[in-house]
Amino acid sequence: MMLKITMEATEVVDAIARHGSFAVAAERLHKVPSTISYAVGKLEDHLGLALFVRNGPRVSLTPAGQEMLKEGRWLLSAAADLESRMRQTSTGFETEVRLMHDSLIPTSALADDICAFEDLQCGTRLRIACETLTGTCRRFAMAAPM
């Protein structure tokens, strides 16, 4: 099965919604307006529904267009994050850091540090786990080189 909604089509719909017209969206995307019109028409034909209500040069989203845009912006963001993580991985960055702590230390005690890590927006995922009765010491001891 081939998907009808591509990342490029989602970017086009996003640009039109942000700027309110096909012409301004075309300018922002460095394309000619006819390319934008063709892409939207083709997408609407493939989906069998309208994404925009056209009022002369101004356009607005239909309910289906609003739904596509809401989820589409999430997909565009996720794709950008993926590209960023791939670039970071290729240059030696870790994609994930695991933090294991003993149950004697509540996770809430780490909240400021966790927030500071997230504020870095480095693209590295943070996985936090809690072990009971010194399970963390045993696990790290087993993983340590001899």
Task: Tell me the domain boundaries of the chain.
Answer: 7-89, 94-143
Provide mean pLDDT across the span 129-137.
Answer: 67
The b/e string for 98-125 (b: 16+ C-beta within 10 A; e otherwise) is: eeeeeeeeeeeeeeeeeeeeeeeeebee
Residue 58 backbone zone (phi > 0: left; psi -120 to 50: alpha; other: beta): beta
- Is residue 133 scored above 80 in pLDDT? no
Lowest mean pLDDT among 65-69, 84-88, 108-112: 84-88
pLDDT attached to residue 39: 94
Interatomic CA distance for residues 82 and 72, integer angstroms = 15
What is the pLDDT confidence band of residue 98, given thresholds at 50, 70 and 90?
Answer: confident
Does the pLDDT value for residue 118 go beyond 90? no
Distances (CA, A) of 145 to 56, 140, 141: 70, 10, 8
Question: Residue 82: pLDDT band by 50, 70, 90 thresholds?
Answer: confident
- Of 3-7, 70-74, 101-105, give the range with the top mean pLDDT: 70-74
Average the pLDDT over 51-56 and give the result: 89
Residue 140: strand, helix, or coil: helix
Third-level CATH fold of 7-89:
Arc Repressor Mutant, subunit A (1.10.10)
Cα separation, 77 vs 72, whole angstroms: 9
What pTM value is reported for the model? 0.62
Q: What's the rounded Cα separation, in Å, for the pair 59 and 48? A: 19
Nearest to 110 by CA among 132, 88, 126: 126
The average pLDDT across 125-138 equals 72
